[in-house]
Amino acid sequence: MNEIQLKYGCNPNQKPSRIYMEDGSELPVSVLNGKPGYINFLDALNGWQLVKELKEATGLPAATSFKHVSPAGAAVGLPLSDKLAKIYWVDDLGELSPLACAYARARGADRMSSFGDFISLSDVCDADTARLIKREVSDGVIAPGYTDEALEILKQKKKGNYNVIQIDPSYQPAPLERKQVYGITFEQGRNELRVDEALLSNIVTENKDIPAEALIDMKIALITLKYTQSNSVCYVKDGQAIGIGAGQQSRIHCTRLAGSKADNWFLRQSPQVLSLQFADGLGRADRDNAIDVYMSDDYMDVLADGVWERTFKVKPPVFTREERKEWLDKLEDVTLGSDAFFPFFDNIDRARRSGVKYIVQPGGSVRDDAVINACNRYGMAMVFTGIRLFHH
């Protein structure tokens, strides 16, 4: 088919709504289950491009968790440590396939933002990944294929209405892309930038030691940013995005927002959080909410008498600001990517507080020297790509 009718557009009052091929050719996507909507397809098609490029750049299975046309998380399929499996609520599933590990990481980095996500997978969805998806609150998934077992598992989700989309992995869009705003057509060449070692070769700092693992993380950061609403920055560690700041008008606000998400990811691994004893029957989303509040300065919202009993079996001690700082001081070897240049060195100061050691950004600011000097002061290694990655 060359057209799929949608229930409505971005909002229920925006009708009619459809996706179609303007040249009359066949759509490269088919709906195997459910009835995806307008925003579902925006998330699916942006997310598919992200994971397809991650797989090409790293050789590893990739997954992303999209919300409102920006990724909440993205990752490649590296094995999960026992600690990560626990904080991602998958420690009861046993050893997972590489693709399932990729989605566990993509979903787990920022579980609050991933609630109700649309999932994109680089590889054929297997049963491990389907079982993981089935237990999460999610709107749908796109992948190049599904095993029979995986498809049957997914069809049981949301009372049989879970959105399952299959995309032709060989599909290549036209080199020019168009969209309309207020009845006016915009046209531009597609962003076909290849993120590879050559793009990461211009190291501008005194420290020029960037290990292979950090180069992979730089690729993940840049490809994630390529499909994140700008302005945006992305913190990455060990093959997964751990903090994404999207759509902020000020870059320092992006850096702070994403840095706070990276901090929360690491705080979840602290002994104080890992030792929390939740009340029987408390769902994963409620646990995520409780952890988020417990790690903040608003901890009394879950620790007050008459309140904590609804969440915990045993009242936990306060996780003090001093204890949080002491734990966060252990976070290190983080990579930070930016879709455009850093105009001030305050971004570097904030990044350092979240363990950043490697930075990749376009460069080109009149204050590049000040930014480079700040990196040198902290012993960071920074790459200039010379290429901006705005996405709107």
Let me know if residue 66 belongs to a domain. yes
State mean pLDDT over 127-137.
97
For range 4-25, the mean pLDDT: 94
What residues form DSSP beta bridges with 166? 30, 143
Share of the chain above pLDDT 90, in %: 99
Helix or strand or coil: residue 73? Answer: strand
Contact by Cβ (8 Å): 371, 365? yes
Pick the catalytic residue: 33, 46, 231, 347? 231
The verdict on 370 and 224 lying in the same domain is yes
- Alpha-carbon distance of 29 to 124, in angstroms, equals 14
d(CA 348, CA 163): 41
pLDDT in tens, 317-356: 999 999 999 999 999 999 999 999 999 999 999 999 999 9
**Would 172 be classed as within a structural domain?**
no
Residue 185 lies in a domain: no
Please name which of 386, 58, 29, 353 lies closest in space to residue 224, comparing C-alpha atoms. Answer: 58
Indicate the average pLDDT of the chain. Answer: 96
| pLDDT of 369 over the 90 cut | yes
- Which residue spans within the chain are E strands per DSSP? 3-5, 18-20, 29-33, 62-67, 70-76, 117-121, 138-143, 163-167, 176-181, 184-189, 232-237, 240-246, 334-338, 356-361, 381-384
Query: What is the per-residue pLDDT across 88-113, written as a single tens digit (0 to 9) for each?
Result: 999 999 999 999 999 999 999 999 99
Concerning whether 392 is annotated as a catalytic residue, the answer is yes
Considering the domain architecture, whether residues 91 and 213 belong to the same structural domain is answered as: no
Same domain, 147 and 23: yes
Examine the domain organization and report whether 49 and 158 are in the same domain: yes
Residues 6+ apart with CB under 8 A from 325: none
231 is catalytic: yes
Judge whether residue 251 has pLDDT over 90: yes
| Segment (H or E) for 247 | none
Any catalytic annotation for residue 13?
no
Does 180 map to a domain?
A: no
pLDDT of residue 180: 93
Answer for the pair 296, 272: CB distance below 8 angstroms, yes or no: no
Bond preceding residue 231 cis, omega within 30 of 0: yes
Domain assignment present for 250 = yes
Domain count, the chain: 3
Please tell me whether residues 218 and 117 are part of one structural domain.
no
Name the amino acid, one letter, at 181: V
Q: Which of these is catalytic: 67, 157, 237, 357?
A: 67
| Residues 147, 223: Cα–Cα separation, whole Å | 27
User: Does 220 share its domain with 358?
Assistant: yes
Structural domain includes residue 308:
yes
Q: Is residue 183 part of a domain?
A: no
The structure tokens listed for 169 are 């992995």
- Print the domain residue range for 304: 276-318
Q: What's the confidence (pLDDT) of residue 168?
A: 97
Q: Please give the Cα distance from 228 to 219 (Å, whole number).
A: 14
Domain-embedded: residue 234: yes
Reported as a single tens digit per residue, the pLDDT across 159-181 is: 999 999 999 999 999 999 999 99
159 and 254 in a single domain? The answer is: no
CATH code of 226's domain: 3.40.140.20
Q: Are 293 and 276 in contact (CB under 8 A)?
A: no
Confidence of residue 58 (pLDDT cuts 50, 70, 90): very high
pLDDT at 32: 98
Q: Which DSSP helix (H) or strand (E) runs through 201?
A: none
Give Cα 289 distance to the centre of its chain: 18
What integer pLDDT is reported at residue 1 of this predicted model?
A: 81
For 182-237, how does the pLDDT look when each residue is reduced to its tens digit (9 = 90+)? 999 999 999 999 999 999 999 999 999 999 999 999 999 999 999 999 999 999 99
Residues 13 and 109 in one domain: yes
SS3 content of the chain, % helix, strand, coil (to 5): 40, 20, 40
**259 and 112 housed in the same domain:** no
Q: Are 126 and 99 in contact (CB under 8 A)?
A: yes
Section 282-291 average pLDDT:
95
Note the pTM of the prediction, 2 decimals: 0.96
Q: What is the mean pLDDT of residues 251-264?
A: 97
Same domain, 56 and 142: yes
391 is catalytic: no
The answer on 96 and 30 residing in a single domain is: yes
Signed CA dihedral, 172, 130, 282, 318: sign only: negative
- Assess whether 71 and 212 both reside in one domain: no
